[in-house]
Structure 1
Amino acid sequence: MNRFSLYLGASVVALTLAGPALANDADIQSRVDDLEATIEALRAEIAEIRKTPEFKPSPNFTDSKGEYAFKFRGQIAADAAVFDNKTGANDFNSGTQLRRARLGIDGTIQSDWLYRLEIDVGNASRDDSATGEVDVKDAYIQYKGIDKTVFTIGQHKTPNTLEQAIPSTDTLFVESPLFVEAFTNRVTAGGDYKAGISAKYSDVNWTATVGVFGENYSINGGGNTGGTATPVYRDEGWGPAARFTYAPINGVDKTLHLGVSGYWRDTGGRTSGLRFRTGPEISVDSTRLVDTGNINAKSYSFIGGELAGQYGPIFFQSEYGRTSTNRIAASDVTFDGGYVQASWVLTGENREYKDGAFNRIKPKNPFSLKNGTWGAWEIATRYSTLDLNDENIVGGKETNYSVGLNWYPNPYLRLLVDYVHFDATKGLAQDKGDALVSRVAVIW
């Protein structure tokens, strides 16, 4: 058989085999349809898998397109403190406190709209006679449809001081420095969580936030009375607030932060309820060492400067602020304070810097006896001072020195131990002593 015969035979066989297939287009189309149906089924299965909640560490539900999302959030912080009073009439009570017990939800609607509701039920652990057992923290809606810009309406943090901008889960010490607590307290001053509207623009190296804020929401219907059932004055206080930050150095482990913030507030109907005060930077005992008492004022304002940064595991943070009060039928009074604090992460980690604030340490090697890893360890120190004396107001002066040891077993759990030496003088009275406070905190 020659080569031509072989080619001819092969062609005949090929045509014979292919004939039925070519003649049965309907069968081919059926197989194509089956394949497309299988692909669609696989796509649907993948979409369902994506809807399965992701745990990091709480359930996070997201649709297949990423346009809708829902997650639970919260934190628990429990403190224990021991006081040693050296001098003074105040007898601090050693004991424990559920400092925070927050529960909340975050959500996304069609990608550009976000919402958050978070409440604190920590006071409910005290006794049934306490007022304001449920404390509203965040209750807002955000719009993020414009590049690098966020609009927020509802109750949220006012843009005042670096310490306030850092989440309570990420602060270096158990409590805020003296002047931050005195000048940005949510009940009588212009900071912390308040109902309002704000806009924030964030670039890589700088942020600008401006807003107008009223008073606080209240579960019990008391509005601006801080949780009581009957308002004690007619109008709410209100005023603008703003914060601007710039980071001339902003690397992965090298940061230099500069910032300024301030507010102006009309007291509304609370012309005799303005009050600045604070304790020994420990909240287990609520005794105030320095206190201006009620000030009869029409308005008041705050201005503060920020300087912070990090170089690898070395971190520092400092602020200075002063508040001025426009009194009724009396001269204006001014108070001021500041702090410097620093830390060294012994295990080498550094803080993430984002949107003008520093986040907590996240250990490279979470604690595990099985793997022989011990999480992240940090030592810290702070100097804090506050002066509430001016004109005929004798609120007192206080200076605190603190050292701390922080352990981060994993990104969601931390344990803090602080030693605080406090020294306060108010008129002829002096309170001096030492305290040791510990905190166990978890976030989800």
Structure 2
Amino acid sequence: MNRRTPARFACLLSVVMLVASPAGARDGDDAVEGVVGPYGERPRYDEKGLTLTFPEEAKLQIGGRLHVDAGAAGLSLPGLPGAFPDNVAVRRAWIEPTLTIGKDWVIAFQYDFNDAMLPINDAFVAWKGLPDTILTLGNMKVPFSLEWLQSNNDTLFTERSLANALVPERRFGFAVGHHGQAWTAVAGVFGNAASNGVAGDGVAAAGRATWAPVMEERETLHLGVAGIYRSRSRGDADFSFSSQAEAFLFGRPFVDTGDLPGVASVSRLGAELAYRNGPFLVQAEYIRADVERFGGLPGFSFQGGYVEGSIVLNGEGRAYALTPQGGTTYATFKSVKVRDDRRVTRGGVGVFEIAARLSAIDLDDRRLRGGTERDVTLGLNWYPESNLRFVADYIHGRVRPGAAQSDALGSAPFSVDTFIGRMQLYW
């Protein structure tokens, strides 16, 4: 970290508090009341960002998110390379315009200025003209894994669990979602990510179904199953699994299969369980991935899972959201809400949440040594404002590195202790 970093972060923190608490936006419905644009649009600025409401039942919301991480890590074996290339880094810098037309159409787009490889996140058109049904075309999350479908603004920790390495990134495709009073079902067909040109990773069929046998205002029991089958051709891009030990700042993954040769298909199965009672939430998942290869060569099987829990110490628990605006993010838990009287800018202390997680991944199978890892994470979340969050995580991991990382990390097991902090602003 250079000498200018503290000054830069002091300046950044001032800007963050200004954006997180726009006084005019919070004191009334309109931050710019009485202002009308050239097309009749009426602007409003609040914790959801800048919203333009047009006379013809159209609304444009311009949101975004900024996640900045800082941390340190230590490895138990001497002689291993430094864990973090940088101790401070921007994790995400998104702009997120969403256009809603009437009651039936939603056009969403997310662009990450910090990701040179996959900058396009959500980029879809959704139609809601049929009862309890959403049709979506574009780049979106494949319907798989409760943890993955939750927004990264809402996850309990700075990063998702080790098991998330077995979940595909967003892909371009078509999805149909339907829901009842306590159940959801989503299915779709997907190619590659939009940033990768849609082609080059085969074609996948995916589906997820959830049921909440208990779904009250303060109590929810969630059950879910999901599956993906992806068929690939010999000319498709390389395929692999790897995990960066639940911290973005690590310079390399600790467990890594390396490029798997001749992958003909990949099947994934996932099971979900979650229970919420007031301020208490616990959720768990198990994921299995099976790889088949061309020419009758032996395939591979990998697995991972986690169990995590949280308690909101001085506020309401996380709400359960059955349906999204568009896309595939059905049946997820949202972020902690901050009442006006608890906001720091209104004389409160914010809302505090403590969390713990145990997660594991196993990328070893037959003669392939991709590595194994077990992590225990303790976390503290502070929400001083409704769209501002500070996260502090301690992660203790036990790693047996994969062969793909043996040149840098060797083959002996080691432990890693990581401290990660995040400033998270979203609007």
Please confirm whether the aligned pair reaches a TM-score higher than 0.5, indicating the same fold.
yes
Find the counterpart in structure 2 of residue 60 from structure 1.
51
Residue equivalent to 1:258: 223
In the alignment, what sits opposite 2:17? Answer: none
Query: 1:211 maps to what in 2?
Result: 188
Tell me the SS of whatever aligns to 1:283. Answer: coil
How far apart in 2 are the matches of 1:170 and 1:369? 20
1:51-71 per-position Cα deviation (integer Å, ceiling 9, x unaligned): 421223322122346x21111
Match of 1:382 in 2: 357
Shift of 1:203: 2.4
- What CA deviation, in whole Å up to 9, does each residue of 1:211-254 have, x standing for no partner? 00000112xxx526xxxxxxxxx844211111111101111111
Q: Deviations over 1:184-206 (max 9, x none)?
A: 1xxxxxx2311000011122311
Residues 286 and 350 from structure 1, CA distance in 2 versus in 1: closer, same or farther, beyond 3 angstroms?
same
Asked if 2 retains the 8 angstrom alpha-carbon contact of 1:239 and 1:264, the reply is yes
| Counterpart in the other structure of 1:406 | 381
Q: For 2:240, what is the secondary structure of its paired residue?
A: coil
Q: Pick the structure with greater CA Rg.
A: 1
Partner residue of 1:419 out of 394, 397, 405: 394
Q: Secondary structure at the match of 1:268?
A: coil
Which residue matches 2:15? none
Q: Distance in 2 between matches of 1:235 and 1:367?
A: 50
Structure-1 residue corresponding to 2:294: 328
My pick for the range that moved more, 269-278 or 138-147, is 269-278
Q: Comparing 250-259 with 199-208, which one deviates more in the overlay? A: 199-208
Structure 1 CA distance for aligned equivalents of residues 205 and 336 of structure 2: 33
In the TM superposition, what whole-angstrom CA distance separates every residue of 1:130-183 from its partner, at most 9, and x where no partner exists? x54x71111111101112110000111110100111011100010010011x11
CA contact (8 A) 1:365 1:375 kept: no
1:112/1:371 CA distance change after superposition, 3 Å:
closer
1:104 aligned onto 2:79: no
Classify the secondary structure of the residue corresponding to 1:192: coil
Report whether the alignment pairs 1:298 with 2:277: no
**Partners in 2 of 1:378 and 1:369 — Cα distance?**
16
- For structure 1, the 5+ residue unaligned runs are 1-44, 124-130, 185-190, 225-233
Q: Supply the AA of the counterpart residue of 2:266.
A: Y
Partners in 2 of 1:342 and 1:121 — Cα distance? 32
Deviation of 1:331 after TM superposition, in Å, equals 1.1
Counting only pairs closer than 5 Å after superposition, residues 352-367 of structure 1 correspond to structure 2 as: 352-355=319-322, 356-365=331-340, 367=342
Q: Which residue of the partner structure matches residue 42 of structure 1?
A: none
What TM-score does the superposition give when structure 2 sets the normalisation length? 0.82
Residue type at the aligned position of 2:301: T
Q: Which residue in the other structure is 1:283 paired with?
A: 248
Structure-1 separation of matches of 2:182 and 2:356: 27
Determine whether 1:440 maps to 2:415. no
Deviations for 1:364-409, whole angstroms, at most 9, x for unmatched residues?
Answer: 2455456431111000000000111111111111000000000111
TM-score by length of 1: 0.79
Tell whether 2:320 aligns with 1:337.
no
5+ unaligned residues in a row in structure 2: which ranges? 1-32, 323-330, 403-410
| Matched position secondary structure for 2:89 | strand
Aligned equivalents of 1:417 and 1:46: distance in 2?
42
Deviates more, 1:420-429 or 1:99-108: 420-429
In 1: Cα distance, 2:230 partner to 2:188 partner: 12
In the alignment, which residue of structure 1 is the partner of 2:4? none
Seen in structure 2, the aligned counterparts of structure 1 residues 369 and 416 have a Cα distance that, compared at 3 Å, is closer
Offset of residue 363 of structure 1: 1.6
Distance, in Å, in 2 between the alignment partners of 1:154 and 1:413 is: 30
Cα distance change on mapping 1:298 and 1:386 into 2, 3 Å: same
Q: Structure 2 residue aligned with 1:267, among 232, 235, 238? A: 232
Q: Percent identity?
A: 32
Alpha carbons 2:357, 2:377 under 8 Å: kept: yes
Distance in structure 2 (CA, Å) of the matches to 1:237 and 1:264: 10
CA distance in 1, matches of 2:338, 2:228: 36
Alpha carbons of 1:368 and 1:303: their partners in 2 closer, same or farther (altered >3 Å)?
closer
Q: Does 1:396 align with 2:386?
A: no
Map of 2:5 onto structure 1 = none
Could you say what secondary structure the match of 2:76 adopts?
A: strand
Displacement after TM superposition at 1:425 (Å): 0.7
The count of residues paired between Structure 1 and Structure 2 equals 372
1:286 is paired with a residue whose SS is coil
| Letter of the structure 2 residue corresponding to residue 73 of structure 1 | G
Alignment of 1:219-258 (within 5 A): 223=197, 235-258=200-223
- Name the counterpart of 1:347: 314
**How many Å separate the matches in 2 of 1:322 and 1:101?**
32
Partner of 1:312: 278
CA distance in 2, matches of 1:72, 1:433: 40
Aligned to 2:106: 114
**Which residue does the alignment assign to 2:170?**
193
- CA 1:351–1:435: 2 relative to 1, 3 Å: same
8 Å CA contact 1:342–1:381 kept in 2: the answer is yes
Decide whether the 8 Å contact of 1:365 with 1:374 is kept in 2.
no
1:87 counterpart SS class: coil
Shift of 1:112: 1.3
Structure-2 separation of matches of 1:277 and 1:434: 19
